A and B are shown apart, each in its own frame.
Chain A
Amino acid sequence: MKRNALTNGRASDASERAFPRLMIAPTVLVMAALTAYPLVFTLIYSFTDYQYLKGTDAAKFVGFKNYVMLFNNTYFRQAVLNTVKFTLLAVILEMVIGLLIAVFIKSLKKGQKVMRTLLLLPYLLPTVTVALSWRMMLSANYGIVNQVLESLHLPVYNWFMDIKTAFGTVLLIDVWQNVPFVFLLLYASLQGVSTNQYEAAMIDGANVVQQFFYVTIPNIKSGIALCALLRTIDTFRLFEKVNILTGGGPAGTTSTITQFLYNYGIKNLKFGFGSCGAIVMTVLVLILSSFYIKRAIH
């Protein structure tokens, strides 16, 4: 009640009332100009034959022509399939490996902090640098990986050019970089699990595996769910590694939705078609993340 009295008394002061508006105005302006306005125009452009070089004035409304073209485009369908496959595999691998590492590090008696920092490093590096380092290691002629495989008499590949290996190689590199994020988040969640529960489980005769499934997992369920969602949202827009390592090839086997749009809507300046693809991707992302948004807002 005291707070109410304070607020009412001050609300009469005009300059004090202006304060929150001034404080929030820059964000509203920036978000309106850089996100709301573009999103609306992406939608509008998606119904036009807008080509950048001809300008917006020459663009005509073409109805759903772009959408029909897009859904009939085999490369696009392949890119959607690749993206879904990639996201599913990457998130599952990252979650399983990240969780195992988190539980393992938590069980160490010494050196938890050092290990946590060192294992986190891959996630912190610029994605471009990560991609280039792996490119050098996996180079067909001058790479250390092929050299080691050859000396062990194992088959070697041209990792990024071979249809058999390109997808898996990019997947592996992405998993390598993002497991540390999952590990860090789950390791932080594990700190909140009380040791009493493990002691109680031990008294009941639960072994290590049972403790993992009946104590650890239920306790960090919400951390696991949140982490999986964040990773899903980020993996779905995968572009940097693909663009640098394969450009979507060979034969489109590593093309993701963003890479497809970059090649066939942005780089060739066919902005109407590109916008249409962007809208389709936006809808897919919204469906994927509706759960996350609901949770985060409460």
Chain B
Amino acid sequence: MGSKRITGMTIIKGIVCAILLIVALFPIYWIVAMAIRPTSEMTGHISVIPHALTGEHFKQLFIEKGFGSSIVNSLQTTLISTMISLVIGLCTAYIISRARFRMFIKKPLTYWILLVRVLPPVAFTIPLYTMFSKLNILYSRIPVILACILINIPLIIWFMISFFQDLPVDIDQSAQIDGATEWQLFTRIILPLVLPGIAAISMLSFMYAWNEYTYSIIFVQTPRNYTVPLTLAVLNTEDNLTNFGLVAAGGVISVIPITLFVIFAQNYLISGLSSGAVKE
């Protein structure tokens, strides 16, 4: 057991770590590297590190392609759908988690929510499209907002039930003895206790809504309503050099929210994502 062998192992592990990081992060680096280099550096010999820096792609993206409105659309649909799903989902998860509320609908609803998580989007899209068209809202932002709500409510309920269940029922009982109404108990006592869970699932919901593509490409009818992923997908029509910079610049902008989450709240985010392994 010489120290030499340990050093050897350490070096090998360091090399493996480096390889893993390069494989995982290079495509992310590359989109940044393409976004900030002038178009002239995208032909001929492409250097891994850009020689000159430029903001021309970002400028062009906002001025010529109206990317600002895509960001506004994305933020709007994401924030509105996340808020609505959270309010609705938290209320339902709490009721399902408490045995003292006896309702016939709890069990079928729980099954149904799980089923919705599993079913493919195409199971719902065609009648929804018809319905939105008959309601005359196909040209508004409502369809995509509703789609994000439909994606996120099951996730929020499924995730939050276990958080509510982990709170001892004694809390409920002592609050009731003190004369608190059910609503006061829920909003003033229960919700503050599950704030970490709410933080984690809010970020996940935001992320899923922000990244949403499948429903959007089917429901959105006019470029006026394009979200960030849709605008990016449309920019990517041909193997066209002039678009490389634009696509890369848009790609960089599309990862800003998740970058902020990782920097400022990675523990919540990771606990949210890995909860599936520990609890079911």
Contacts and interface: CB of A to CB of B under 8 A. Distances in A.
Q: Does B bind A?
A: yes
Interface of A: 2-3, 6-7, 10, 16, 19-21, 23-24, 26-28, 30-31, 34-42, 45, 52, 56, 101, 104, 107-108, 111, 115-130, 132-137, 139-142, 144, 147, 176, 180-181, 184-189, 192, 223, 226-227, 230, 233, 236-237, 239-240, 243-244, 258, 261-262, 265-266, 271, 274-275, 277-279, 281-282, 285-286, 289, 292-293, 295-297
A122 B16 contact: no
A85 B89 CA distance: 36
13 contacts: A3-B173, A24-B91, A30-B88, A35-B116, A124-B207, A132-B232, A132-B236, A142-B244, A176-B24, A274-B122, A286-B118, A293-B118, A297-B114
Contact of A258 (B27, B122, B236, B277): B122
Contacts of A185: 273-274, 276-277
Contact of A26 (B23, B91, B181, B229): B91
A144 B30 contact: yes
Contacts of B270: 116-117, 120, 184
A121 B20 CA distance: 12
Contact of B280 (A39, A176, A226, A285): A226
Contacts of B94: 23
A144 B31 contact: no
A2 B172 CA distance: 13
A2 B88 CA distance: 31
Given A121-B262, A230-B276, A6 B176 contact: yes
A184 B131 CA distance: 39
Interface of B: 13, 16-17, 20-21, 23-25, 27-28, 30-31, 34, 42-43, 45-46, 48, 87-89, 91-92, 94-96, 100-101, 103, 105-106, 109-116, 118-131, 133, 146, 149-150, 153, 157, 169, 173, 176, 181-183, 186, 207, 210-211, 213-214, 217-218, 228-229, 232-233, 236, 239, 241, 244, 247-248, 251, 254-255, 258, 261-262, 266, 269-270, 273-274, 276-278, 280
B114 A139 contact: no
B118 A233 contact: yes
A41 B280 CA distance: 31
B125 to A, nearest CB: 7
Q: Is the interface of A mostly helix, strand, loop or mixed?
A: helix
Q: Is the interface of B mostly helix, strand, loop or mixed?
A: helix
Contact of B229 (A39, A126, A261, A266): A126
A239 to B, nearest CB: 5
B94 to A, nearest CB: 7
Contacts of A42: 123-124, 126-127
